[in-house]
Chains A and B, each alone.
Chain A
Amino acid sequence: MNCLQRLWPLVLLLSVAGAGAAEEFSFDASEFEKKPFEIGGYLQLKQESFAFNRDGAFYRLNSVNQPQRDNLDRTTGTMELTGKLRGGIGTFDFHTHSDLQRDQLAHDHNNILYEGAYSIRPDPGLTLEAGKRTLRWGKGYAWNPIGFVERPKDPNDPELSREGLVMANGDLIFNREGPLQTIAFTPVLLPVGNDVNSEFGAAGHLNPAAKLYLLYRDTDIDFAWQGKGSRPGRFGMDFSRNITSNFEIHGEWARIQQFARPVTDATGRVTTEVGNATSYLLGLRYLTEKDTTYIAEYYRNGTGYSDRETREFHQLVDAAFTQLQQTGGGVLLQKALSLSQGSYGRPNPGRDYLYFRAQQKDALDIVYFQAAITAMMNVQDRSYQVTPELSYTGVKNLDLRMRLFLLQGGAGTDFGEKQNSSKFELYARYYF
């Protein structure tokens, strides 16, 4: 009896463990049934350390009349919420973005409705929706020349969510047997007014756009068009296809008609060149047996600036600061500032770029640990940016990512004149 009493806790423990093992793999799907209202999202804390390129044109322009610094630390808290409200034949879905930034120079906060649209599906092959929506057109990873009705993508973070545009759009899908398996047509109407989509272009237009998707002989093909209105008219196409199961190629081509491009010379004389601009992209994605993914893209930016034009702009910046120092006059500086806030200040203002990314899944044999390196190069001036990256997703609902941006280039080059010479970034993102 005494022995049994002593063993009793062990028996109890083993029974509990046994019960646990029996329930180890239980699964009841009822908790995942569709609900009338759903909400989710993430909270993110990001720390960035910028090392400034004190000689760079964009550092000098952005820090005029400010205390000069070698570096800056910024902390950003972000919350994004996504949700759905279902009722009748329709669904309302939304995506909000809120952030709070703090660094040694400024505090800032934003609350933005990224998406908020109501959609109805009278038939599986027909969807109609209206509201604020993010449409992403194109097959390129870092750039999308046919992204006609969207805000520009950040090639440093191509998978980042973006704010949409207010529009009405539809989706008609036809499926059939044979080599042409799918035909899908997406018409879009995009209004631009003083308070609606004002960043898109000139106010007072209802801009039409459309995309036709075909799945033809295992190749994705899109034809895209945007009518003349707030912006010049444009059209283009893309494709994507697997050559083998682990080797994909893709491409995009776009032409903007009568595109107006401001070009400056070193003295600040700005001329507007009007003409058709052709952009295109060719890329590939390759997965090795060891789970290394390679992505490579070449991007021809038809609206971009040549090496000579870029250098002239940077010479203008030099001249502007020389004028400021010698005479105290700010005429050239105002011109340079104005141009830097326009097309010369885009993330990729050049004409030819190469993009390369290699990422290793389960690096160092650690499951959910990924190591990657990304390089972006302005082909004409040979300046570049290299970004090593480490990420870990092994903790439930938590993503951790660390990146270091290293920019390299001589005076007068694209990456050599950026505001930063390097940037360290670390974030923790918790999903709920």
Chain B
Amino acid sequence: MKNLLRLVLCLVALPAGAAIDGAQILQKVDRNLEPESYESYRKLIDIQPDGSRKESVLYTMKKGREKVVALFLAPPSDKGRVTLRLADNMWLYIPDVGRAIRITSLQSVTGSVFNNADILRIDYTAEYNVTAAEEQKDAYLLSLKAKTGEVAYDGLKMWVDKKVLLPVTIEAYAASGLLLKTLHFKDIKDFGGGIKRPATLETDSPLYKGYKSVMLWSGLKKREFPDEIFTLNYLPRVQELRK
């Protein structure tokens, strides 16, 4: 009798599971996290095993699915540095060097657990395909595979809150299957303008045992930008765009 009940439950559950459209969920996650074009301020905090901290503050502008600029406002040693991302291309402009150099997604311009792909994140749908979607009690579990070898993480496991369609936890994996880091989204906050999303992202990594990195959002709002600012020539002047 019990086996029959299990069979019936499985048959009922199977079409429901198959009906989950992972790609559509991921698209909604992208738009619920941020408008397609926006500005925001972020603070990055790196906490070392002894409790000491290093903080960076960035002003970020994004346009469309694949254009991001991030300007460092603090600490003083990094002030004026600008990173630009156009799809898979990334550059770093250092005022003293006076020109932009190409950087890679796996590097970290802040020297923290957050790498450039985390700091200059573009839409998940721009970089990943959903290979599997599973419905769990309070969340959807999406398995994502990088579209190209240029993407920082070969695979992601993303737990998405079913009610608000926002990520709760993301595990990032290398092509070898090695867990590189885990991202924990917390503290859902109303930023105004219909933007309600986590204001805190905590990261830990088995590769950096004892270290933790935190990203905090503030001043996130929709804003349209001209295309010209997402160019190497504009990077020295990006800070003039802040209001």
- Give A contacts to B, CB under 8 Å: 25-29, 32-34, 40, 42, 82, 84, 86, 91, 119, 121, 124-125, 127, 134-139, 141, 158-162, 171, 173-175, 181-182, 184, 186, 213, 215, 218, 220, 240-242, 244-246, 248, 285, 287, 289, 291, 293, 361-362, 367-368, 393-394, 396-397, 399, 429, 431-432
Q: How far is the CA of A362 from the CA of B96 in the complex (A)?
A: 23
Query: Are the C-beta atoms of B88 and A32 separated by less than 8 Å?
Result: no
On whether A32 and B150 interact (CB within 8 A), knowing A186-B233, A397-B76, the answer reads: no
Our pick among A40, A160, A242, A394 for the contact of B96 (Cβ within 8 Å) is A160
User: Can you pick out 27 interface pairs between chain A and chain B where the beta carbons lie within 8 Å of each other?
Assistant: A25-B216, A26-B216, A27-B43, A27-B218, A29-B41, A29-B57, A29-B219, A40-B79, A42-B76, A171-B233, A173-B233, A175-B231, A182-B233, A213-B233, A220-B232, A242-B102, A242-B104, A244-B149, A244-B150, A245-B149, A245-B152, A246-B104, A248-B102, A287-B104, A361-B111, A368-B111, A431-B76
- What does the 1/0 interface line of B204-243 toward A look like (CB < 8 Å)? 0000100100101111000000111111111001011011
Q: How far is the CA of A429 from the CA of B96 in the complex (A)?
A: 14
Q: Which residues of chain B come closer than 8 Å to A91, judged between CB atoms? A: 240
Q: Which of A86, A135, A171 has the most CB of B within 10 A?
A: A171
Q: Which residues of chain B come closer than 8 Å to A215, judged between CB atoms? A: 86, 89, 231-232
Q: How far is the CA of A333 from the CA of B108 in the complex (A)?
A: 53
Identify which of residues 132-154 in chain B touch chain A, using a CB-to-CB cut-off of 8 Å: 149-152
Q: Which residues of chain A come closer than 8 Å to B150, judged between CB atoms? A: 242, 244-245
Query: Are the C-beta atoms of B75 and A397 separated by less than 8 Å?
Result: yes
A77 to chain B, nearest CB (A): 18
Q: Which residues of chain A come closer than 8 Å to B149, judged between CB atoms? A: 244-245
Q: Which residues of chain A come closer than 8 Å to B107, judged between CB atoms? A: 287, 291, 293
Query: Are the C-beta atoms of B48 and A159 separated by less than 8 Å?
Result: no
Our pick among B54, B95, B151, B219 for the contact of A368 (Cβ within 8 Å) is B54
Our pick among A28, A125, A174 for the contact of B218 (Cβ within 8 Å) is A28
Q: How far is the CA of A127 from the CA of B216 in the complex (A)?
A: 33
On whether A34 and B88 interact (CB within 8 A), knowing A173-B233, A397-B77, the answer reads: no
Identify which of residues 51-81 in chain B touch chain A, using a CB-to-CB cut-off of 8 Å: 52, 54, 57, 59, 73-77, 79-80
Q: Which residues of chain A come closer than 8 Å to B98, judged between CB atoms? A: 134-136, 161-162
B23 within 8 A of A: no
On whether A32 and B41 interact (CB within 8 A), knowing A121-B240, A246-B104, A248-B102, the answer reads: yes
Q: How far is the CA of A139 from the CA of B208 in the complex (A)?
A: 33
On whether A285 and B102 interact (CB within 8 A), knowing A28-B218, A125-B228, the answer reads: yes
Query: Are the C-beta atoms of B104 and A127 separated by less than 8 Å?
Result: no
Closest 8 CB pairs of A and B: A29-B41, A175-B227, A431-B76, A136-B98, A29-B218, A27-B216, A124-B226, A184-B233
B208 to chain A, nearest CB (A): 7
Our pick among B97, B108, B200, B219 for the contact of A159 (Cβ within 8 Å) is B97
Interface size of B by CB at 8 A reads: 60
Our pick among A171, A186, A396 for the contact of B75 (Cβ within 8 Å) is A396
Q: Which residues of chain B come closer than 8 Å to A248, judged between CB atoms? A: 102, 104
Query: Are the C-beta atoms of B211 and A367 separated by less than 8 Å?
Result: yes
Query: Are the C-beta atoms of B231 and A432 separated by less than 8 Å?
Result: no
Chain B residue nearest to A41 (CB atoms) is B76
A386 to chain B, nearest CB (A): 23
Q: Which residues of chain A come closer than 8 Å to B152, judged between CB atoms? A: 245
B105 within 8 A of A: yes
Q: Which residues of chain B come closer than 8 Å to A171, judged between CB atoms? A: 233-234
Query: Are the C-beta atoms of A218 and B89 separated by less than 8 Å?
Result: yes
Q: How far is the CA of A226 from the CA of B12 in the complex (A)?
A: 75
Beyond the given pairs A32-B74, A160-B96, 16 more chain A to chain B contacts, judged by CB atoms under 8 angstroms and listed by A's residue number, are A25-B200, A25-B214, A27-B217, A32-B59, A136-B99, A161-B96, A171-B234, A182-B231, A215-B86, A244-B150, A245-B105, A245-B152, A287-B104, A287-B107, A289-B106, A396-B75
Query: Are the C-beta atoms of A136 and B97 separated by less than 8 Å?
Result: yes
Query: Are the C-beta atoms of B231 and A393 separated by less than 8 Å?
Result: no
Our pick among B75, B96, B97, B237 for the contact of A121 (Cβ within 8 Å) is B237
Query: Are the C-beta atoms of B95 and A82 separated by less than 8 Å?
Result: yes
Q: Which residues of chain B come closer than 8 Å to A34, judged between CB atoms? A: 239-240, 242-243
